Structure formats: structure tokens, C-alpha cells
Amino acid sequence: MDYKKYIAQKIEIDGFSCEEIETFIEIPPEKSVGDYALPCFRFSRALKKAPNIIAQELKEKITPSGVIREVQAVGGYLNFFLDRTAVSLDVVKEILDSGEKYGSQKVGEGKTVCIDYSSINIAKPFHIGHLSTTVIGGALYRIFNFLGYKAVGINHLGDYGTQFGKLIYAYKNWGSREEVEKGGIKELTRLYVDYHAKSEENPAMDDEARRYFKLIEEGDSECVELFNWFKEMTIKEVNKIYDLLDIHFDSYAGESFYNDKMQVVVDELNEKNLLVESDGAKIVDLEQFNMPPCIILRSDGASLYATRDIAAAIYRKNTYDFYKCLYVVAYQQDLHFKQFFKTLELMGKTWAKDMVHVSYGMVSLEDGAMSTRHGKVVLLEDVIRVCMEKALKVIEEKNPSLENKEEVAKMIGTGAVIFGALQNNKIKDIVFSYDKVLSFEGETGPYVQYTVARCNSVMAKSDVDYSEFNVTEVCDSEYNLAVALANFPSVVLSSAEKYEPSFVTRYAIDVAKAFNRFYLDCKILNETGDRKKFRLALCDATRTTLKNALSLLGIKTPERM
């Protein structure tokens, strides 16, 4: 049951709908003051009364019934205490009835959400800097689908620009098909790094690189063939990483896809008198909005990121008629998105308000930053591999007889990487630590996975039928766990509304802690009768909820660990 909604339906306040009241209801930090609370300060101006008087008047109109055991007016708050036993039984039954659908909703039916994420660069390595955009976008993709939306995952490939001319120059001058076939992206990266080292001594190489890129644009058969080869090779290799991380896309339309769609944008900006010439370049003046100009065409007539992004946004609206269009891109691009969103608004695109930049912080290892140009990169594939190897080592030390050790290590290693990237608020910079993310104690992915395995172990050791269960009272540990489980649907909804997958990771940690407290406080297998059935059902409900939460993040759960 959605207890916030249930409580909101009991409250009548002139000028406020049930839905509005529901959004105001909070969960107090201390259970001693209630399970839910309605701050009445929000209604003071409209009702022209003091918050404490409003709270007292509302209390007198509500008769405790159903799961509401008691209502108190304290200061400016209306506090609700629930019937602990009724709530616990209700929550567990709902979870067991819903199974893998527990927490899902239909709020997004008929609405499409486009999510632009990962957006790797062709012929460049998939490094740890791509981790956040990939797993944040992947989590949001699953979360929106879980809520009934139609999510469209878009990998806006970086497949346009002079860097491809540089790569072709390097390949033709000192590369070979045999070496590229053998080395893949690593060999292409080597060629790219070598190019920049040599071009510092011979700047004329840049003119040749620009010429090769122009040949790609003009459809030169040899250059286009090399470009497509590099692209196919890149996608083939990065798909191995996407498979490990359970990441999926519905579109790989990258920058080059919009090459023939940009002139329409330039023409429309001209028709609407939005283009201004500045030092030979064509810009949209945004000075009145306290922003630098949005450059549409350089002085040599070449397009820029903004030109292609505007063309892509229009294409996506025309193709998908999105409800929201999200861009999961690092916070360094905040200004770029403000500029191009504002340009769309000035063009009269009323849907520009539905464009959202989901910004995030940077990821680095403990030994510092990276640069593709100078070859200082940490491949994401290597990070995942190290985590899998370390997980396997722990398994061999603690549970050497475990079946399918390699597969379990794969789940733990990849899960640790994903959970570590999603654990904190997305805007925070992350310093990735192998030891921290792989710990089986504390707030980590392996800790949550181990909690699921512990639930599985309890269930496997009992042959009691708990499909029917009933108790007349519950203890604190049972109730606290049940309440934590009950909050899952609202957490999923909040994570979508705030574009914040870390709400789900934090929730999973809270549930795991509540379960492990319950596991220590309460006998389960040595209990008898209805109490044993209820506790087994509570274990099953915990297992289901944690598996659902982790699946939204792209994390699999081993049966045993």
C-alpha cells in the first residue's frame, strides 16, 4: 500500500488537492515522533492560521482506523502512527504477490523519455571516464521503463571531426591493417597518440588531417571505408563492456548522422533573424541571458557541437515526440547545454523546456587524471577485469567450494564497479578505490549482494510453506524492515523525478542494514508456527525487493556467495 496516499486521502484542506497534500507528507527522521508527518506550515498563508492550530484542527477531524493507529498534533506537525502489525503483514503480502514487478508503476504510460548517454568516441578507448554517463544513463533507462514510460536509449556516437582525419593520416603513414586487426582500439589509440607526438614537431600534418576529414565529408571511397572500419571495430569492442554492464541502446545515431540535417537548422535560424555575424562566425547572441554566444558556424563555415545538437534535438522530437529528453553528460558541459536549450527556446520550440541536462561529476582512480591525447588512460575493461579478479580471490579464500566461482566473481566485480559509481549523488566527483568498492562490509554492492545470498541461504534451509502467514504483533526489527521494504515504490519514483539513481543505491544499503539487524535479532529457522512463517516470508520479501533494486542499477545477484 502507498501509505502517503492512504494518509493524504484522510485529510481535507480547502484549496489543496489530495495529490498536493501527498507530496507534502514526510517520513520523520525519528520513529518516536511518528511514521509519517504532515508539516502544516505550508498551509498557514492560505488558511490564515498558525501551523499549530491547523495541525490541531486536522487531528480532530481524523478518526484512527485501518492501518492508522494514532494521530498527534505536535507544534506545526500532524504526526501519524501506523498499526505496526497491520503494516508489516500488508507490506510482505504485497511484495510476495507482486514479485519482480514490486515497485513498478504505470505513471509513465503513453510517454516517451529519450536518454542520451555513454556517447563514446569512435576509435578511442572506453575508459573509466565514461563510467558515470554509462551507468547513470543505463539506470535511468531501466527506472523509466519500470515506471511505465517508453525509454529510448541513445548512444550519440562521437563520429565526426578532424580527429578522424588525424587517425587516417597516422594509419596511412605508419599503421597497418594487420596491426589494427590484431590490436583493435588499443592500436588505434597508439596511432592517435603517436600522431600528436609527431605533429608537435611537424604542424603541417594538421593540414593533411583536415584534408582527410574533408574527404570523408565528401564521400571519398577510401577514407569513408577506413572511417566505417574504425567505427565498426569500436562498436564491436565496446559492446563487450556494455554486455558486462547490462547496458542497452535503441539508437546509435551519432554526430555524423546529422551531417545532412544541419543546413535546415541554419536556414531556420536565419529566417527567424537569430543569426548574427561575429568575426566571420555565425552566432546566436545570448548576452541578454548572461551567456556567451552560441556559435553555430565557424568563420570557415564548419559546424560545431551546438549545430549538431540542435539538429539532433529537433530530429528526436519529430521522431519520438518525447515527454522528456535527457542528456547524461559531465558538469563541464553545463554552459553548452544552457546555450543550446536557450537557442531552441528562441527558435520557438515550446518543447525546449522538456530538455534536461543530467550532469555528473568526474571519475578518476586514486593515482590521478587521464588524457587520451597523451596516452594516459585507464581502460574501463581493465578496471572491471581487476575487480573480477579480486572478487575471485576473495571467494577462493572464504568459500573455495562455491560452484560457478568465475561467474559469481563476474557478478560481484561488475556489480561493485556499477554500485561504486552510483553510490553517491551524481554531481559529486568520484575517486575510484578497488578496496572500497569490493568490501563485503559497509556500504557497497557486494554487501547488498551478500544480503540477498543470505536470504537465499535461509530460504534453502527451510521446507516450511509460508504462503499463508499471520501474527498478532511484530517486534521492532521486523517492523523496521517491513517499513523499509514499503518505501521502495516511492524511492523509485523519486529517483526518476530527480534523475538520481543514487536514491536506489542508498535505499538498497538501508534495506540490507535493516535485514541484517533483523537477522541478528530474530530467530528464523529455529522459530515455530506462524512466527516462523512470517519471518520466512519477510526474508523472501527482502530478497525480492533487493533483487528488484539492484536490477534497476544493472547489477545481477548470485544465488550463493
What percent of the chain lies above the pLDDT cut of 70? Answer: 98
Q: Which residues contact 555 (CB under 8 A, 6 or more apart)?
A: 411, 414, 415, 418, 419, 445, 449
Q: Per-residue pLDDT for 63 more than 80?
A: yes
pLDDT band at 127, cuts 50/70/90? confident
The residue-averaged pLDDT of 434-452 equals 89
* String of DSSP letters for 48-68: TS-HHHHHHHHHHH----TTE
Strand order in the sheet with 281-284: 275-278, 281-284, 294-297
**Residues 415/244, Cβ–Cβ less than 8 Å:** no
CA–CA dist 530, 473 (Å, integer): 11
Amino acid letter for position 145:
N
- Give me the residue label for grid cell 557478478: 411
pLDDT tens digits, residue range 477-490? 999 999 999 999 99
The residues, ordered by sequence, that sit 6+ positions from 393 with a Cβ below 8 Å of its Cβ are none
Quote the number of domains for the chain: 2
pLDDT tens digits, 182-234:
998 889 989 998 999 999 999 999 999 989 988 988 889 999 999 999 998 88
Flag whether 342 is in a domain: no
pLDDT, position 276: 94
For the record, the C-alpha cell of 64 comes out as 484512527
290 phi-psi bin (left φ>0, alpha ψ -120 to 50, beta other): left
In a domain, 52, yes or no: yes
Nearby residues of 267 by Cβ (< 8 Å), 6 or more positions away: none
Give every CB contact of residue 410 below 8 A, 6+ residues apart in sequence.
244, 388, 391
CA distances from 557 to 102, 269, 489, 495 (A): 17, 51, 20, 21
Domain boundary among 50, 82, 114: 82
Cβ atoms 536, 430 nearer than 8 A: no
Q: How many CB atoms lie within 10 A of CB 329?
A: 21
Alpha-carbon 270 to chain mean position = 38
Q: Is residue 12 part of a domain?
A: yes
Q: What is the CA radius of gyration of the chain?
A: 28
Give the pLDDT score at 171.
95
Start-to-end Cα distance in the chain: 33
Task: Take residue 184 and report the three cell numbers written for it.
Answer: 583493435
User: What mean pLDDT do residues 338-364 have?
Assistant: 95
- Could you tell me if residue 519 is inside a domain? no
Sheet holding 355-358, edge to edge: 150-154, 112-116, 324-328, 355-358
Q: Residue 426 pLDDT > 70, yes or no?
A: yes
CA 149 to chain centre: 15
Contact at 8 Å (CB) between 22 and 35?
no
Domain boundary among 211, 229, 245: 245
Matching residue, cell 572511417 = 227
Domain boundary among 82, 114, 133: 82
Helix (H/G/I), strand (E/B), else coil: 430: strand
Specify the pLDDT at position 376.
60
The sign of the dihedral angle between the CA atoms of 196, 200, 204, 210 is positive
Nearest to 418 by CA among 398, 433, 437, 440: 437
* Residue for grid cell 502507498: 2
Work out the mean pLDDT of the chain and round it to a whole number.
93
Cα–Cα distance, 410 to 81 (Å, whole number): 44
Q: What is the distance between the alpha carbons of residues 19 and 8, in angstroms, rounded to a whole number?
A: 8
> What is the pLDDT at residue 430?
79
Nearest-angstrom CA–CA distance, 399 and 393 = 10
Cell 508539516: give the residue.
39
Q: Does the pLDDT value for residue 367 go beyond 70?
A: no
CA distance 164 to 527: 68
| Domain CATH number, residue 7 | 3.30.1360.70
Give the type of residue at 434: Y
Q: Is residue 213 part of a domain?
A: yes
Kindly tell me if the per-residue pLDDT of 371 is higher than 60. Answer: no
Q: Are 228 and 239 within 8 A, CB to CB?
A: no
> Is residue 49, in this structure, part of any structural domain at all?
yes
pLDDT of the residue at 364? 75
Burial of 80 (0-12, 13-18, 19+ CB in 10 A): buried
Q: What is the pLDDT of residues 237-285, one digit of tens each?
A: 899 999 999 999 999 999 989 988 999 999 999 999 999 999 999 999 9
**Whose CA is closest to 121, among 112, 113, 130?**
130
DSSP single-letter state for residue 120: P
CA distance 87 to 110: 33
Asked if the model's pLDDT at residue 101 lies above 70, the reply is yes
Q: Residue 123's pLDDT is what? A: 82
**Interval 513-519 mean pLDDT:** 97
Is the per-residue pLDDT at 37 higher than 60?
yes
Beta strands in 190-335 (DSSP E): 275-278, 281-284, 294-297, 324-328
**Residue 46 pLDDT exceeds 80:** yes
Given a contact cutoff of 8 angstroms between Cβ atoms, the answer to whether 85 and 472 are in contact is yes
- Say if 321 falls within a structural domain: no
Answer yes or no: is 395 within a domain: no
Cβ partners under 8 Å of residue 44, min gap 6: 50, 51, 54, 76
Instruction: Report whether 112 contacts 320 (CB < 8 A).
Output: yes
**In sequence order, which residues have a C-beta less than 8 Å from that of residue 526 and are 6 or more positions away?**
none
Query: 421 — alpha (psi -120 to 50), left (phi > 0) or beta?
Result: alpha
Domain limits at 49? 3-82
